[in-house]
Structure 1
Amino acid sequence: METPVTFAAPHADTGDTAWLLAATALVLLMTPGLALFYGGMVRTKSVLNMLMMSFVSIALVTVVWLAAGYSLAFGDDVGGGLIGGLKQAGMAGLGPDSLHGTVPTLLFATFQLTFAIITAALVSGAIADRAKFAAWLVFVPVWALLVYVPVAHWVWGPGGWIMAHLGALDFAGGLPVEITSGASGLALCLVLGPRLGFKKDAMRPHNLPMVVLGAGLLWFGWFGFNAGSALGANGLAAADFLNTLAAGCTGLLGWLFVEQKRDGHPTTLGAASGAVAGLVAITPSCGTVSLLGALVVGLAAGVVCSYAVGWKFRFNYDDSLDVVGVHLVGGVIGTLLIGVFAEKAMTGSAEGLLYGGGLAQLGKQLVAVVAVAAYAFLVTFGLAKLIDKVMGFRADEEHEHTGLDLTVHAETAYDHGVLGHGAPVSSSVLSPTQKVQSQA
């Protein structure tokens, strides 16, 4: 009599689960880190408002993600690759024994939630100093459902058209996080218009140590963002981790090189911004390129983004904290360069132009970039226009002049709260770099 074959029931891998728990906490920390990064870059009169726009995003996005966002993004496709269903709305059927690969589904859902949170918070930097807080409270949950969730399904969801049908690659969020936030930020800039005194007053960062602290927390959390996307404690996570570190370093050095050559002064703000630019660009490509590719991706982002942040003055859109110049441009660079530097050893199949893959993968990446940027921009523009018509999106001129901390939150960040209220500052006291970059 033959002994019947038995199969062990699927179970969570404790090592993978432990790593993803840590990675989830790291990514959640990125939003407070972003709050400090952005808070240091604004003037004294709106520091708390900037912090609040990030912190309130944690609560707003969490509620809509648990209610419907996760199911629509990662549920079984019901719309031809465009959107998932509502079978798991309210996290229905996802008990502690439910698995996503080797980790609990509830943990995977929470990990992905932290991505959605920081994406919404990133958008706020484009409209710093001039948005109604009440309008932001309405915008964030609706935007998360209409913009972030569909794009996340296209890229990572079961049957999503970008990954499953087009074949474009995005390991950790160049499309759903970086390009979506940057394109959405541009749309909001155009709807709200420039800050009072844009291109006239010196709108310098009020606290550069705070900016550097925020950048450091972002860099720390980014290891969870990228290496955590391997969903396991394995060699791929290790490669993603190293690629993330390398790209952040070359992004920082590339930005400082441009500042030294162009302005004669390598700045603290430039170092922080360059590191973030390199990290943005490596996000989509960390799991597809080798270490050499990561070094080039980061360097390209640091150099190009250092010029891109000045485009707002040329084209007259007030991207207050350089969301467009860093996140949109950096995200495009990192996503497109997958088509150049992707290696089979990392992807398992697809190869970039430099490794014998021809132009095919680059073409797929380009289609994905254009589609996501256009969708995010158009939907955000329409949503912002609707909110502006119904309740007004732009803060009152008097409130903006006085500062949103006092007029909206009845608080000031410092006892000397009048410091940095936006009074004109002679350009003679500013370095060339501060004239170009520190106006954000």
Structure 2
Amino acid sequence: MKFPLHIEIVQRQDSTLTKESLRNYIKKIVEDEGYITPGVTLTNLNPKFLDEHVQAIYISDLPCEIEKESVKVSEVIIKYYVYRLDDAGPQAEVMDEEEDMTAANHWILPSTDFHGLWESLVYDSSIKDNLLNFVETTLLFSDKKVDTNVVSWNRVVLLHGPPGTGKTSLCKALAQKLSIRLSERYRHGQLVEINSHSLFSKWFSESGKLVMKMFEKIRDLIDDKEALVCVLLDEVESLAHARKASMSSSEPSDSLRVVNAVLTQIDQMRRYPNVLILTTSNLTNAIDLAFIDRADIKQYIGLPSAFAIYKIYHSCINELLRVGIITPVEKIFPIRSLQLTKFEENDATRLSIQLLAIARASEGMSGRTLRKIPFLAHAHFIQSSVVPLEDFMKALEKAVFKQKLDCEEFARDAS
């Protein structure tokens, strides 16, 4: 059985080639090579002609169950995507002119702000693939005009788990990835990140109206059938707070109006095939049960395992190698390569095994913290602009130990 492999080509802004000609040029290079390495990012491309027109090439990974470092082109179904990045950045949406508070940030996708974000997110399971498959199914069912009174779906995703595990980043990366993968269907993507706290007005009973006004603006975007609109509600418990708790407390009835408004708008938007509602929460017990019931996917995002941490550290080391802060002495192997060798330690794998030990010592840390560890390793334990890889590994180990000690001391002081 052939598996799909996606090759995404980021075209430079000043490139004069058509998308089709660039796609065909790279397709010929791939087919002439005969083999391809999944899960890699290519920059500083050769020949020079290619580097003049291409900023980067992303090759998707294979399913987790396939343990191969490279595959024959004939073994996979390759899909090519050529796109340019929008560099305008977020545009602010203001609901209350008097208070001048930003109610939402709005991006045209794909955006430079989220360039490479999808590839940087590492999880232990097929979370990312599952989310892409979910969207494919919503489109298929919409295209086939499945009766939603018989088979129901709402296009709502809820990611929940502890802070720092990449829930918000995954939502933004998913919106970016969909704008690329669905570029033949939609001319462009749009991401609207709603600032939940700004929708609570200082004027009694106005918050519900602000929510309605916000979603009216979103519906204006959805009316463009050539746009894929992703709506991000970060910390959704702020807008969809459990009504049972509100009624039994001294909270104002305005919060009840907000929850009712949010649920009403979600119900109205479910009939649009070109919208996806992405939500996150650190406090799932604070979310209204009716909202939870509307979520098609309720995905837990937990702390990374040792293997996931290894991948995070490996990507950080590769980045520091790329910019010349670390000088290579020995190669750090991908975790898949170590698994194929059954983690046998020899002269070639010595540093890779050492990195795995550091990853195991880092278990319990969030992805947000793990991404800071290489920086802290250099800041605390390295006094030069260029460092050999072996010395950096020692500094990385010390930084992990220091981070754990600092957290323990902070916890003691807080208690």
Q: Same fold (TM over 0.5)?
A: no
* TM-score, normalising length: structure 2: 0.28
- Of structures 1 and 2, the one with the larger relative CO (CA 8 A, separation 6+) is 1
Larger strand percent: 2
Q: Which of these two proteins has the greater Rg computed from alpha carbons? A: 2
TM-score calculated relative to the size of structure 1: 0.27
